[in-house]
Amino acid sequence: MFDFFKEGLLQFFSYSGFGNCTWGHIIMICVGLFFITLGIVKEFEPMLLVPIGFGMIVGNIPFTDGLQIGVYENGAVLNYLYFGVIKGFYPPLIFLGIGAMTDFSALISNPKLILVGAAAQFGIFAAYAIALLLGFTPMEAGAIGIIGGADGPTAIFLSSKLAPSLMGAIAVSAYSYMALVPVIQPPIMRLFTNEKERLIRMRPPRAVSHREKVLFPLFCILLTAFLVPSGIPLLGMLFFGNLLKECGVTKRLANTASGPLIDIVTILIGLTVGASTQATNFLTPKSILIFVLGAFSFVVATATGVLFVKFLNLFLKEGNKINPLIGNAGVSAVPDAARVSYVEGMKYDKTNYLLMHAMGPNVAGVIGSAVAAGILLSFLY
């Protein structure tokens, strides 16, 4: 009787999380807790870091295989939810919501800011080149490089196609750096600008008519999708969402896309991406390299954005010049990067409001990173 009791307990223990726990699991759970703390206490991208952090905890609770509970086990609930990440249909839905939330007025009123969004994509390709040198395959390098686009859904979309095995690390890296934009970008912005440039006042944006706002997504999808058809899933949804918002007759659809729909998908994508970072798959030397390369691409993207504004200023007349502090916003990461520009600008001139100006390159960065993802997909997939 005692033996039976003892054996039962031991068997139960072997099925429990305590019996299967490794240091890897503990480390990943700690990372998850750290993400949640960052999200709640520091309020760094809480909408992303809280679901991802919780997903990490859920995905790293040790269990014995075969119970259909893990994210990688066929038939498990988490596996079904993860399907949207693997097949890449969550990111376009998020882009639909982003389109329905984004006001492109700043960009329409000052079109040259769109070029800043293009320049900042250089970080993607710089990271691609370095990743190749470090021994990653071209497909893996492309998926890693897209971290520099500072766009979580784009990173997930591309890595799910090019390097599914690295998707967890890439997604976590992309979202982490997006959350850390207020920490990473300001030193680079200060490094490449001088006092005089930081005080540049930009001309107030002109009023944008309703007609322009409606025509913008229609023309943009035609121009970009014809050029890069592989970007259609992201660009199509982005501009469709924006048309719903701007046309004025589909308010309910726009509200759904920018509200409940994007919230649901964000919850699912955050939780499942977090859960996909199981210690056995995640804690590898490759993941560490991905984090390093992600940081590198972020730094390069920010620097090229700022430097490109300085380059543009060489050709602009006095009064039309652009404050280089908005160059960082070209990396996408809407709207945090624009907020960083604003905060940095305020440090040097309390009356210089850069937020609206920074939104131009910021939304251009979204378009630019989606185009870049499309190009990488067409070359590497």
Burial of 95 (C-beta count, 10 Å sphere; 0-12/13-18/19+): buried
Full DSSP string of 151-216: -HHHHHHHHHHH-GGGHHHHHHHHHHHHHTHHHHHHHHHHHT--HHHHTPPPPPPPP--HHHHHHH
Task: Kindly state whether residue 126 participates in binding other proteins, applying the rule CB under 8 A.
Answer: yes
From 67, 77, 227, 264, residue interacting with other proteins (rule: CB under 8 A): 227
Task: Kindly state whether residue 167 participates in binding other proteins, applying the rule CB under 8 A.
Answer: no
From 35, 95, 125, 298, residue interacting with other proteins (rule: CB under 8 A): 125
User: What is the rounded distance in angstroms from the CA atom of residue 85 to the CA atom of residue 167?
Assistant: 9
Task: Kindly state whether residue 212 participates in binding other proteins, applying the rule CB under 8 A.
Answer: yes
User: What is the rounded distance in angstroms from the CA atom of residue 256 to the CA atom of residue 299?
Assistant: 35
What minimum distance in Å lies between the beta carbon of 361 and other proteins? 10
Task: Kindly state whether residue 137 participates in binding other proteins, applying the rule CB under 8 A.
Answer: yes
Residue 325, Cβ neighbours under 10 Å: how many? 32
Task: Kindly state whether residue 281 participates in binding other proteins, applying the rule CB under 8 A.
Answer: no
Considering the complex, state which of residue 54 and residue 122 has its C-beta at the smaller distance from other proteins. 122
Please give the C-alpha separations between residue 236 and each of 28, 96, 187, 364, in angstroms, as whole numbers.
36, 8, 35, 15
Chain-centroid distance, C-alpha 30: 22
What does the H/E/C string look like for 225-292? HHHCHHHHHHHHHHHHHHHHHHHCCCHHHHHHHHHHHHHHHHHHHHHHHHHCCCHHHHCCHHHHHHHH
List the Cα angle 306/311/316 in 5-degree steps. 115
Considering the complex, state which of residue 179 and residue 299 has its C-beta at the smaller distance from other proteins. 299
Task: Kindly state whether residue 209 participates in binding other proteins, applying the rule CB under 8 A.
Answer: yes
From 114, 158, 180, 299, residue interacting with other proteins (rule: CB under 8 A): 114
Q: Which residue has the tokens 């990488």?
A: 376
Task: Kindly state whether residue 293 participates in binding other proteins, applying the rule CB under 8 A.
Answer: no
Task: Kindly state whether residue 208 participates in binding other proteins, applying the rule CB under 8 A.
Answer: yes
What minimum distance in Å lies between the beta carbon of 5 and other proteins? 57
Task: Kindly state whether residue 133 participates in binding other proteins, applying the rule CB under 8 A.
Answer: yes
Considering the complex, state which of residue 6 and residue 203 has its C-beta at the smaller distance from other proteins. 203
Burial 197-223 (b: 16+ CB within 10 A, else e): bbebebeebeebeeeebeebbeebbee
From 38, 178, 309, 372, residue interacting with other proteins (rule: CB under 8 A): 372
Task: Kindly state whether residue 375 participates in binding other proteins, applying the rule CB under 8 A.
Answer: yes
Interface region with other proteins, contact rule CB under 8 A, candidates 110-118, 189-197, 294-302, 346-354: 110-118
What minimum distance in Å lies between the beta carbon of 375 and other proteins? 5
What minimum distance in Å lies between the beta carbon of 132 and other proteins? 5
Q: CB of 336 within 8 A of CB of 350?
A: no
Question: What DSSP element (H or E) covers 297?
Answer: helix 285-313
First to last CA, the chain: 62
Task: Kindly state whether residue 371 participates in binding other proteins, applying the rule CB under 8 A.
Answer: yes
Task: Kindly state whether residue 303 participates in binding other proteins, applying the rule CB under 8 A.
Answer: no
User: What is the rounded distance in angstroms from the CA atom of residue 379 to the CA atom of residue 230?
Assistant: 10
Interface region with other proteins, contact rule CB under 8 A, candidates 21-29, 173-181, 205-213, 264-272: 205-213
Task: Kindly state whether residue 260 participates in binding other proteins, applying the rule CB under 8 A.
Answer: no
Interface region with other proteins, contact rule CB under 8 A, candidates 14-22, 77-85, 88-96, 122-130: 122-130
Task: Kindly state whether residue 204 participates in binding other proteins, applying the rule CB under 8 A.
Answer: no
Residues that bind other proteins (CB under 8 A): 107-109, 111-112, 114-115, 117-118, 121-122, 124-126, 128-129, 132-133, 137-139, 141, 206, 208-209, 211-212, 215-216, 219-220, 222-224, 226-228, 364, 367-368, 371-372, 375-376, 379-380
